[in-house]
């Protein structure tokens, strides 16, 4: 039987440590709130930082532009609210970010940790609300519920489809840009988009940023 309601000293995102209770499966401890984290696709290890506040989520940033070949380029970037801080923490702890993929999950069955203010790293001074241990070890794994994985297309799935780049956020898809069509005696001629029209279309394409997760 796994240990229940045991206190552990666990790592926090600024290099310090905090006390976290592993709770008990089915106990209803914690707030069953959704948050974003990371999973090592080779080992299954899970990493997290917070279970409250807007920064606990993954954001999906979609950018569209027209390239020199008259194609619409759609770029989907996965960006976590504590993105730079966690990259810093991973590097400080020699954790290979190239094997981590974005996940989201609900935290239920174990209490959240205390709030704290980051005292080191690029986001020094930022508050971490209802903290989670940065490394979700075996005694805490039962509290990770309803896990889903980010996809290259910008969605979520219950099955891991492989590694999704998130450090650079440079996944791209392309689609052919519709050409003007003019008819001459039944003959269809595909007109090349003029620079002016491409510029006009680029001006109308807005950068879209979406927070993926619930509200506070």
Q: Check pLDDT > 60 for residue 176.
A: no
Q: Exposed/middle/buried for 128, CB within 10 Å: 0-12, 13-18, 19+?
A: buried
- pLDDT tens digits, one per residue of 96-109: 999 999 999 999 99
**What pLDDT score was predicted for residue 95?**
97
Model confidence, pTM: 0.76
């Amino acid at each position: 039987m796994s240990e229940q309601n045991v206190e552990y000293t666990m790592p926090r995102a600024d290099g310090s440590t905090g006390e976290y209770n592993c709770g008990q499966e089915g106990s209803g401890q914690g707030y069953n709130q959704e948050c974003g984290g990371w999973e090592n696709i080779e080992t299954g290890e899970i990493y997290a930082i917070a279970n409250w506040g807007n920064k606990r989520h993954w954001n999906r940033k979609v950018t569209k532009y027209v390239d020199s070949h008259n194609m619409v380029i759609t770029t989907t970037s996965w960006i976590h609210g504590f993105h730079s801080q966690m990259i810093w923490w991973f590097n400080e702890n020699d954790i290979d970010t190239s094997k981590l993929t974005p996940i989201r999950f609900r935290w239920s069955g174990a209490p959240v940790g205390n709030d704290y203010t980051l005292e080191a790293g690029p986001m020094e001074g930022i508050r971490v609300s209802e903290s989670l241990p940065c490394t979700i070890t075996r005694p805490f794994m039962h509290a990770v519920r309803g896990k889903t994985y980010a996809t290259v297309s910008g969605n979520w799935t219950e099955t891991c489809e492989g590694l999704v780049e998130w450090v650079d956020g440079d996944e791209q898809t392309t689609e052919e840009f519709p050409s003007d069509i003019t008819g001459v005696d039944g003959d269809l001629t595909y007109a090349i988009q003029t620079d002016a029209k491409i510029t006009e279309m680029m001006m109308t394409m807005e950068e879209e940023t979406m927070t993926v997760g619930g509200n506070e």
